[in-house]
């Protein structure tokens, strides 16, 4: 039975606050993993990514979860045409609070430096709203304290612990779940044992930062020579800093049939709901989208759901509540390995759910994708995008069509002439794979018409 579009959002509100009618201030702090990684020693030379224009524009994804009575914080005003599009799609639009971030500090720092923004949030606290971030960091806790907004999420120290890939490995082992062969490494010597002396198994191996973010903090070691090079770099750093602590894990590089992502919602009282499982589309270690449904066998689906409920209960016992997203894989033998990592935050998949409930036919399929937007010499308006798409830009009907989940990222390169270069976040709906492929090809061809000749370089 299909649940009404708002039901899962109401359940999320109840899980975060204890009240399904709670009004929320949505803050999509996508850089929270960067904040959690501070002070943790990973792979040399793979520093923390700075907040990008794309990340800042992703803040408008909050509108996909927010409802009337809520507030969404953005660094750049959302296009009015896009907000009207969401309303026409049956996703009523919340109010927007724009807090500029010209220096790229991130939304939390920019708010804390803005007396006007702090005053607005204090007024919202007086009106009874809660602060609902994508993930809770020390900065989020400081913001909640500075404004009086009750925090709709667990303590930052709990989130930091849960988001560690070392914690994920430990928890999978503790619960007796099928693991990816490997070891956690806390010191330089432990890393040497893992990669030089067979402690993690035969090559190839993957070395991971415990706090690496998507597409970063991964290194594949294919032979002893590459392992010796890495170990030498880590040893030199330890000698230079006088600290041999590392936050790394080493795992076997497994052949696999598929990558998966799934989600649970954990209420404050410990109730755990299994929300979904999707097939993840991965390119060079970075997520590019999702396929829904995931195409699992009944046994594989049972394995995922069983693991999800066990993990949710264990996370609650460790002080966590709210949304937790898990990455998993199906190995070459068709067996589910349910814990690649645990994410102590909302995920891009989380923001898709209301749209999926709205447009996905019971027997239909969907693909969530990021589409490149060709560079142009002027900012792109949502109205112009719809003109270029023509009939393809109509809202999905009868389980088929395109739905745009985030538009601001199309202008992520900036608003100056010649700087537009970004991406669209989308959901494609269809009755079968062939229809989905045809729709994606048609949209890609239409987007090519956005290309505007660039000034010649002299």
Give me the count of residues in the chain. Answer: 458
Of the candidates 373, 385, 370, the one whose C-alpha atom is nearest the C-alpha of residue 420 is 373
Residue 357 DSSP code: H
Name the one residue in this structure whose structure tokens are 């803050």. 27
- Do residues 120 and 131 lie in contact, with contact meaning Cβ atoms separated by under 8 Å? no
Task: Provide mean pLDDT across the span 92-109.
Answer: 94
Q: What is the pLDDT of residue 414?
A: 52
Burial classification of residue 165, based on how many CB atoms lie within 10 Å of its CB (0-12 exposed, 13-18 middle, 19 or more buried): buried
DSSP string, 122-183: HHHHHTT-EEEESS--HHHHHHHHHHTPPBSS--HHHHHHHH-HHHHHHHHHHHTPPPPSEE
> What's the pLDDT band for 200 if we cut at 50, 70, 90?
very high
Q: Residue with structure tokens 């066990």? A: 310
In tens, the pLDDT along 10-45 reads: 999 999 999 999 999 999 999 999 999 999 999 998
Q: CA-CA distance, 12 to 26, in Å (whole number)?
A: 13
Phi-psi region for residue 378, left (φ > 0), alpha (ψ -120 to 50) or beta? Answer: beta
Q: What percent of the chain has pLDDT over 90?
A: 84
Q: Which of 139, 165, 181 is nearest to 246 (CA)?
A: 165
The sign of the torsion formed by the CA atoms of 113, 114, 117, 118 equals positive
pLDDT higher than 90, residue 452: no
Quick: pLDDT tens for 258-291.
999 999 999 999 999 999 999 998 876 677 889 9
CA distance 401 to 387: 16
pLDDT for the residue numbered 6: 45
Residue 56 has pLDDT above 90, yes or no: no
Average pLDDT for the chain: 92
pLDDT tens digits, one per residue of 288-326: 889 999 999 999 999 999 999 999 999 999 999 999 999
- Domains, in order of start, for the chain: 23-151 (no CATH), 181-252 (3.30.1490.20), 360-450 (3.30.70)
pLDDT of 140 > 60? The answer is: yes
Question: Which of 447, 450, 454 is CA-nearest to residue 377?
Answer: 454
- Asked if the peptide bond before residue 204 counts as cis, ω within 30 degrees of 0, the response is yes
Confidence tier at 5 by pLDDT (50, 70, 90): very low
Residue 355 pLDDT > 80:
yes
pLDDT at site 379: 85
- For residue 305, the model assigns a pLDDT of 99
Residue 155 CA, distance from chain mean position: 19
- Evaluate if pTM is beyond 0.75: yes
Structure tokens at 425: 């976040």
User: pLDDT per residue over 62-90, tens digit each?
Assistant: 999 999 999 999 999 999 999 999 999 99
Question: Per DSSP, what are the bridge partners of residue 292?
Answer: 366
Residues sharing a CB contact under 8 Å with residue 288, sequence separation 6 or more, in sequence order: 281, 282, 369, 370
Residue range 431-441: mean pLDDT, rounded = 96
């Amino acid at each position: 039975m299909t649940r009404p579009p708002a039901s899962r959002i109401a359940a999320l509100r109840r899980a975060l606050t204890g009240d399904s009618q709670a009004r929320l201030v949505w803050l999509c702090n996508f850089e929270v993993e960067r904040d959690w990684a501070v002070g943790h020693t990973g792979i040399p030379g793979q520093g923390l990514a700075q907040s990008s224009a794309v990340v800042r524009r992703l803040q408008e994804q909050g509108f996909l979860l927010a409802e009337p009575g809520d507030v969404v914080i953005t660094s750049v005003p959302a296009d009015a045409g896009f907000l009207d599009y969401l309303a026409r799609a049956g996703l009523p639009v919340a109010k927007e609070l724009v807090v500029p971030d010209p220096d790229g500090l991130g939304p939390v720092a920019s708010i804390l430096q803005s007396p006007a923004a702090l005053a607005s949030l204090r007024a919202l606290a007086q009106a009874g709203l809660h602060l609902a971030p994508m993930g809770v960091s020390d900065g989020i806790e400081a913001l909640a304290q500075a404004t009086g907004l009750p925090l709709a999420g667990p303590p930052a120290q709990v989130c930091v612990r849960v988001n560690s890939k070392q914690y994920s490995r430990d928890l999978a082992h503790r619960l007796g779940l099928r693991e990816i062969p490997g070891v956690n490494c806390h010191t330089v010597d432990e890393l040497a044992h893992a990669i030089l002396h067979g402690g993690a198994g035969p090559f190839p191996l993957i070395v991971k930062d415990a706090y690496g973010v998507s597409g970063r903090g991964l290194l594949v070691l294919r032979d002893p020579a590459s392992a010796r090079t890495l170990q030498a770099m880590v040893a030199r750093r330890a000698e230079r800093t006088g600290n041999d602590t590392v936050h790394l894990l080493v795992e076997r590089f497994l052949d696999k049939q598929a990558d998966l992502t799934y989600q649970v919602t954990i209420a404050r009282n410990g109730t755990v709901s299994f929300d979904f499982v999707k097939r993840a589309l991965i390119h060079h270690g970075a997520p590019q989208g999702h396929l829904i449904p995931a195409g699992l066998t009944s046994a594989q689906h049972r394995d995922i759901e069983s693991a999800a409920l066990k993990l949710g209960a264990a996370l609650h016992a460790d002080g966590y509540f709210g949304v937790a997203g898990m990455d998993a894989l199906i190995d070459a033998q068709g067996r589910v390995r349910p814990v690649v990592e645990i994410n102590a935050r909302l995920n891009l998949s989380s923001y898709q759910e209301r749209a999926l409930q709205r447009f996905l036919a019971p027997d239909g399929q969907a693909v969530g994708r990021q589409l490149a937007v060709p560079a142009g010499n002027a900012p792109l308006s949502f109205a112009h995008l719809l003109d270029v798409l023509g009939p393809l830009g109509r809202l999905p009907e009868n389980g088929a069509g395109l739905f745009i989940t985030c538009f601001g990222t199309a202008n992520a390169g900036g608003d100056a002439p010649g700087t537009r270069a970004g991406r669209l976040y989308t959901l494609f709906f269809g009755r079968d794979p062939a229809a989905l492929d045809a729709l994606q090809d048609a949209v890609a061809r239409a987007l090519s018409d956005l290309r505007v000749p660039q000034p010649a370089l002299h």
